[in-house]
Amino acid sequence: MRILHLVLSPRMSGAEILVRDLALYQQHGGEAVAVAALMPAHDDFAPLRAQLAAAGVACSFPKRALRPLARLWYLHGVMRRWRPDIVFAHATIPAFYARALPTRVPVVYVMHSAVNDFQRDLFRWTERLLSRRARAVVGVAQSNVRDYLAEVGPHPRLTVIPNGVDTSRFGLPATAPSHATSLLLQIGRYDAVKNQLHTVRAFQATLQQVPQARLALYGVIEDSVYYCKVRALVAELGLIDKVSINGPCDDVPALLAQASVFAMPSASEAHSIAFLEALASGIPVVASAIPAFAFAEGHDAVQLVDCADSAAYARALVRALAQPRARRPLEGLTLHDTARRYQAIAHEVLGVA
């Protein structure tokens, strides 16, 4: 089977991490796999592209930004060269372009968004027009399916496939991080929905009880204004020597192995890859009490709290710093589980027994 994964712009972010993992898994399983994009790759995607290339996964990304019609023509060229049996279009805009092409190649639309894309009139009406051009519509979370039904309507193949994590890359380190380090870690793009400002404020309160603690932030700068607010707050609170503000990192397993606590105060998520990776690593986790994280409630060393309450958030961080790592069940949430479900969708769409 020849599989094409289509993304908007390759970068170090959740949907693209899933695409990388799926492409590698499928390629190693004997499929012929390619990854294409409608926009140029971000610099931070270079390590992931190297991993794909080393495994024999073809990559096709435009070298410069393209206008809408040029994007369509570029995708047409990719389809002609690659001749896929099936296209998985990850996120709404790539799915629009894939279904706008006059092709008989089946398209599976994969919804990754943590927000309701179809509240935008243009997106809602475009999706209603193109809906049946998708041979299947997949949501990474039940909220995606709920929004689709409410805003677009029913589809004959509408299903949920949760994201999965490659557990072979994670696990409890041979030696736990020293309590002397007390390193708090947050990974996520710099954007108001990720709430790095909440973490910085809670960290200041945490220092009153754990003065040796440090905080490390990593992520793509999606909102430069918000990123500047994070830097400004760190300076205002006198935490420059205690907080490191970094771009994205391609070695997440190493970050999680070195850290003492993982923080994820997101206001909303669909089905976060970063959260799954933290669970797989065994690191104590403090996260928002939002529906996307509810499945982890009750797991060892996982606290779900109101992260907008700085005092409550700080208390949870202090408790987490005293907790050991834990082995957690991830049945149904491994990369193998996810890849098997994508394969089942492909076989169903293509009529393969």
Residues 160 and 178 in one domain: no
The secondary structure of the chain in percent helix, strand, coil, rounded to multiples of 5, reads 45, 20, 35
Banded model confidence at residue 171, pLDDT cuts 50, 70, 90: confident
Percent of the chain past pLDDT 70, that is, above it, reads: 98
233 C-beta neighbours (distance < 10 Å), count: 16
Q: What ranges make up the beta strands (E) of the chain? A: 2-7, 32-37, 58-60, 86-90, 107-111, 134-139, 158-160, 183-187, 214-218, 243-246, 261-264, 285-288, 302-305
Q: What angle do CA 57, 61, 66 make, to 5 degrees?
A: 160
Per-residue confidence band for 262, with pLDDT thresholds at 50, 70 and 90: very high
Q: Are residues 160 and 187 in the same domain?
A: no
Question: Is 32 buried (19+), middle (13-18) or exposed (0-12) by CB count in 10 A?
Answer: middle
Q: 306-310: long-range contacts at Cβ-Cβ below 8 A with a sequence spacing of 24 or more?
A: 307/195, 307/198, 307/199, 307/202, 307/265, 308/195, 308/198, 310/198, 310/201, 310/202, 310/205
Q: Does residue 187 share a domain with residue 70? A: no
Instruction: Report CA-CA distances (Å) from 166 to 94, 102, 313.
Output: 25, 36, 29
CA distances from 30 to 1, 95, 137, 341 (A): 8, 25, 25, 16
328 lies in some domain: no
> What is the pLDDT at residue 174?
63
The two tokens of residue 319 are 């408790």
Percent of the chain's residues with pLDDT above 90:
95
DSSP one-letter code for 221: B
Please indicate, yes or no, if residue 327 is contained in any of the structural domains: no
Do 63 and 88 belong to one domain?
A: yes
Locate 192 and state its tokens.
């108001």
For residue 25, pLDDT beyond 80? yes
Residue range of the domain that includes 308: 167-321
For residues 351 and 353, which has the higher predicted lDDT (pLDDT)? 351
Same domain, 313 and 342: no
Task: State yes or no: pLDDT of 150 exceeds 90.
Answer: yes
| Same-domain pairing of 7 and 154 | yes
Helices (H) and strands (E) in the chain, counts: 12, 13
Query: How many structural domains is the chain composed of?
Result: 2
Mean pLDDT of the residues in the chain:
96
- Output the pLDDT for position 179: 54
Per-residue pLDDT of 251-261, as tens digits, reads: 999 999 999 99
116 residue type, one letter: N
Same domain, 342 and 237: no
For residue 330, which amino acid is it? L
- Distance, in Å, from the CA atom of 7 to the CA atom of 16, rounded to the nearest integer, reads 7
Residues 298-340: tens digit of each pLDDT: 999 999 999 999 999 999 999 999 999 999 989 999 999 999 9
218 and 240 in a common domain: yes
pLDDT of residue 124 exceeding 70: yes
pLDDT at site 283: 97
The pLDDT of residue 234 is: 98
Dist. CA 174–CA 300, nearest whole Å: 19
pLDDT for res 339 = 98
Give which of 2, 14, 70, 16 is closest to 38, Cα–Cα.
70
Tell me, what CATH number does 71's domain have? 3.40.50.2000
pTM for the full predicted model: 0.94
What is the model's pLDDT at position 34?
A: 98
